[in-house]
Amino acid sequence: MKALICEGGGFKTAFTTGVLDAWICAEYVPFDIFLGVSGGAVVMASYVVEQYKRGWELVSELQSDSSLTSFSRFVKGGYFLELDLIEYIWDRITPFDEERANQLVRNKIVEFSCTDLHTGKPIFIRPEKGSDWKQYLRATSTLPVVSKCPLIIEKQELIDGAFSAPIPIQRAIDLGATDITIIRTNLDSNIWGTRWSKMMSNYLLKNNFPAINELMQKEDEIYKEISNLIKNPPNGVSIKTIVPQEMQSKVLNAKSEALKNDYRAGLEEGLDCLKKY
């Protein structure tokens, strides 16, 4: 079975959208399993129903709206990240093909990576026929403290899957995948688990969300395990990664030109992959 994994990364997923749009144009959708994390899940949703440029519409509309993030709002007691805006734009752009989505989940596996707020364990939620995909996608993007959280689905309190399963390779293997393609949004040279991020986590999360803080403290270890699994997959499992050469956009902010450049880089990388595959 073939699996596609889309890493999260906020505005960095402009690159992911470019790769996926190149594949949609070529009618290249060979996957049996789709696993998305945070922003990667949001743009992947348009790919699984083969809606060309819908993911780009969503990312670019979010970039152009300054109300997505606001430090002053946060200081005044509100949320730094306004996830309601994502749902609003989701409804405003090209309508999501719900009929096709309902047909797809009958034959394919589509899951979004989340984290249990209290235990820190990875939870994989799967939209079934008639599911509200917006709510499932919001669950995989919800952050403690900086956005309204958690999102409750089937009595589970869920937040962003990037904390516990930022690149859910093992989940793909457990589901039977033997051919795995991963679209990354972070360069291999990135250093995870910086001293600053750990200090901020201790300050913001340690008392109210200890399980999530613990994950933040060992973030670098989590990514090292992922890197080792990519380099040394189990027997019978093939793993391919699509990694940007450079990234101009940041997770929570991006200039318009930077976003366009990352999208174009994704298009080129997607076309190059088609030649290889």
What is the average pLDDT value for the chain, to the nearest integer? 89
3-state helix, strand, coil in the chain (%, to 5): 45, 15, 40
- Specify whether the CB–CB gap between 39 and 15 falls below 8 A: no
Q: Which among 84, 60, 74, 75 is positioned nearest to 135, based on CA atoms?
A: 84
User: In a 10 Å sphere around its CB, with 0-12 CB exposed, 13-18 middle and 19+ buried, how is residue 199 labelled?
Assistant: exposed
Q: Which amino acid is at 131?
A: S
Residue in this structure with the two tokens 């992922």, named with its chain if needed: 226
Residue in this structure with the two tokens 């949004």, named with its chain if needed: 185
pLDDT at 81: 82
Q: How far apart are CA 99 and CA 110, in angstroms?
A: 15
Where is pLDDT greater, at 22 or 218?
A: 22
pLDDT at 189: 52
pLDDT digits (tens, 9 = 90+) for 213-257: 888 888 888 888 998 999 999 999 999 999 998 889 988 888 999
pLDDT at 200: 74
| Four-residue CA torsion sign, 226, 232, 234, 238 | positive
Percent of the chain with pLDDT over 70: 97
List CB contacts of 175: < 8 A, sequence separation 6 or more. 1, 3, 33, 109, 111
Strand, helix or coil at 50? Answer: coil
Q: Which among 224, 222, 201 is positioned nearest to 211, based on CA atoms?
A: 201
Strand, helix or coil at 142? Answer: coil
pLDDT at 195: 63
Q: What is the mean pLDDT of residues 176-198?
A: 77
- Specify whether the CB–CB gap between 124 and 172 falls below 8 A: no
Q: H or E stretch including 54?
A: helix 54-64
pLDDT at 157: 92
pLDDT digits (tens, 9 = 90+) for 122-144: 999 999 877 888 888 988 988 88
Q: What is the mean pLDDT of residues 194-207?
A: 73
